Structure 1
Amino acid sequence: MSETTVDILIDQRVAVLVDGNNIELSLHDLVGKKSAMINFDTLIPKLLNNRSLARLIYFREGKSISPKLAERLLTHYHGSVTPCYKSADIPLTIKATQIAQKVDTIIILSGDADYVELVRHLKGEGVRVEIAAVNKTTAKILKEEADHFVEITEEDCFVFKRTYKRRKKGNSK
């Protein structure tokens, strides 16, 4: 028998839903710096693995949402940033159930055990559910319930360096 290489077209629509506060805190713990952020340019291709991106939504609690992050997600991934009144759990869960019939896979970036029931529900609806998070800060039950777990490592993030302009003495502006 001779081996034949067969090209397989993967036709799967994927939604990536990010619990921004959870992932940011996990990255800060992983790297040891509060300015660690996700490097979407390395992480998204790793997560998609030749599948098509249907949605990317970054849920973020609080008012301090970087306009640069929102612009970058829109420009490079047609993504969006959704501010949340309190935690991202409920808005992310609602959005996941709303889009479940429109995608094949939902990837949740969070290690929070609060998403276990959402994972179970989505799987019951026939949606493949993947969790991408920092291994050390991810609930064991969440990894067990998901169809697949992708570990976010230091290679998937960068440390944001702020640049400050020094003010001249006596200048209040």
Structure 2
Amino acid sequence: MNKIAVFADVQNIYYTTRQAYGKQFNYRKLWQQLEQQGDIVSAYAYAIERGDNQQKKFQDVLTHLGFEVKLKPFIQRSDGTAKGDWDVGITIDIMETAPQVDTIILLSGDGDFAILFDKVKQAYGVKTEAYGVPKLTAKALIDASTVFHPIEGELLL
């Protein structure tokens, strides 16, 4: 059976689906689709902790679906800018998980992950799949993916 690991860049998916469609991503529908593709052996959702009740409810839904939610504190800099980036954490988790699975699935449109996809395909022979909003997903990530899944239709709420 196809062993699958899922990695969701929650902030990226939230903002790109909202910007492109004014809608939210349907994690429940995604989970149902992935269960038909194989055995989901691990699933991580990376988010920023803002101490918001609505956000906590959403994180509970993700946990109920089967995701392990990883939180990083929201950092407000003195110059007014904010930081809340999980790229390094996602990369480490994918590198550690890739030798144990057949398929790596990433929910993000961030082109920085293209190099990572190329590396895990070469080093571990895994299939790489990315889910992203087509017009907001980096071409480099689409090209580095074995399969690119456009976020549209039933994957939107």
User: TM-score, normalization: structure 2?
Assistant: 0.83
CA separation of 1:157 and 1:64: change in aligned 2, threshold 3 A: farther
Tell me the CA shift for residue 72 of structure 1: 1.9
Tell me which amino acid in the other structure corresponds to 2:8: V
SS at match of 2:85: coil
Written as runs of structure 1 = structure 2, the 5 A alignment for 1:53-132 is 53-64=40-51, 66-77=55-66, 79-85=67-73, 86-124=84-122, 125-132=124-131
- Computed over aligned residues only, the root mean square deviation of the Cα atoms, in angstroms, reads 1.7
SS at match of 1:15: strand
Alpha-carbon displacement from aligned partner over 1:99-148 (angstroms, at most 9, x marks no partner): 11221111000111110111111111211111111111011111111100
Q: Does the CA-based 8 Å contact 1:111-1:137 persist in structure 2?
A: yes
1 or 2, which has the higher helix percentage? 2
Tell me which amino acid in the other structure corresponds to 1:155: E
Tell me the distance in 1 between the aligned counterparts of 2:37 and 2:106. 18
Tell me which amino acid in the other structure corresponds to 1:80: E
Unaligned runs of 5+ in 1: 1-10, 159-173
What residue number does 2:15 align with?
25
Tell me the CA shift for residue 47 of structure 1: 3.9
Overall identity of the aligned pairs, in %: 28
Q: Does 1:15 align with 2:5?
A: yes
Tell me the CA shift for residue 74 of structure 1: 2.2
Tell me which amino acid in the other structure corresponds to 1:42: K
Tell me the distance in 2 between the aligned counterparts of 1:13 and 1:145. 20
Tell me the distance in 1 between the aligned counterparts of 2:131 and 2:114. 14
- Aligned residue pairs total 144
Structure 1's consecutive aligned runs of 4 or more residues displaced over 6 angstroms after TM superposition are none
Q: Does the CA-based 8 Å contact 2:48-2:71 persist in structure 1?
A: yes
Alpha-carbon displacement from aligned partner over 1:65-109 (angstroms, at most 9, x marks no partner): 6222222222232x1211135301111101111111221111000
Tell me which amino acid in the other structure corresponds to 1:88: W
Choose 1 or 2 for highest CA Rg.
1
User: TM-score, normalization: structure 1?
Assistant: 0.76
Unaligned runs of 5+ in 2: 74-83
Tell me the CA shift for residue 48 of structure 1: 4.6
What residue number does 2:81 align with?
none
Tell me which amino acid in the other structure corresponds to 1:37: Q
Q: Does the CA-based 8 Å contact 2:34-2:40 persist in structure 1?
A: no
Tell me which amino acid in the other structure corresponds to 2:89: P
Tell me which amino acid in the other structure corresponds to 2:111: A
Q: Does the CA-based 8 Å contact 1:70-1:80 persist in structure 2?
A: no
